[in-house]
A = this chain, B = another copy of it.
Amino acid sequence: MDDAFAKLPQPPYYAVIFSSRRNGEDDAGYGQAAQHMVDLASQQPGFLGVESTRGEDGFGITVSYWESEAAIAAWRQHAEHAATRAYGRTHWYQHYELRVAKVERAYGKRIGQQHITQERADQRRADEEPTST
């Protein structure tokens, strides 16, 4: 199990893609608030999961997943979330972009414990990849 990956149902569902550049200030306060927001979001109706990462350069992407646009709207209006967003805009971020999207297709692969030989990998490629010739 890799908890960084959201465990999601089959599409369709909705994604909120939040890209941001931290301003380098108040790492402790930001970290605490970010974790608290994830905990709070997880308790909201319609929340499906979240994936988040940030590089050493301060640029980060967080994608939260929701059952419906109504669930996103309700979370947006959650009082503590709204207050934290307002605080974050002036204290933590240099720049951010937010995009709301409807996920239509999804697939993935977790490499198992077994060793994947090149032969099997080639076979899998033949099975899965559209040819381009």
A residues touching B (Cβ–Cβ < 8 Å)?
A: 2, 4-6, 11, 15, 17, 19, 21, 23, 51-57, 59-61, 63, 76-79, 82, 85-86, 89-90, 93-111, 116, 118, 121-122, 124-125, 129-130, 132-133
Which one of B53, B93, B94, B130 lies within 8 Å of A61 (CB-CB)?
Answer: B53
Count identical subunits in the complex: 2
A99–B19 Cα gap in the complex (Å)?
A: 17
Shortest CB-to-CB span from A15 to chain B, Å, is: 5
When A19-B51, A57-B4, A90-B121 are in contact, do A97 and B108 touch as well, CB less than 8 Å? yes
When A2-B95, A95-B5, A101-B104 are in contact, do A55 and B54 touch as well, CB less than 8 Å? yes
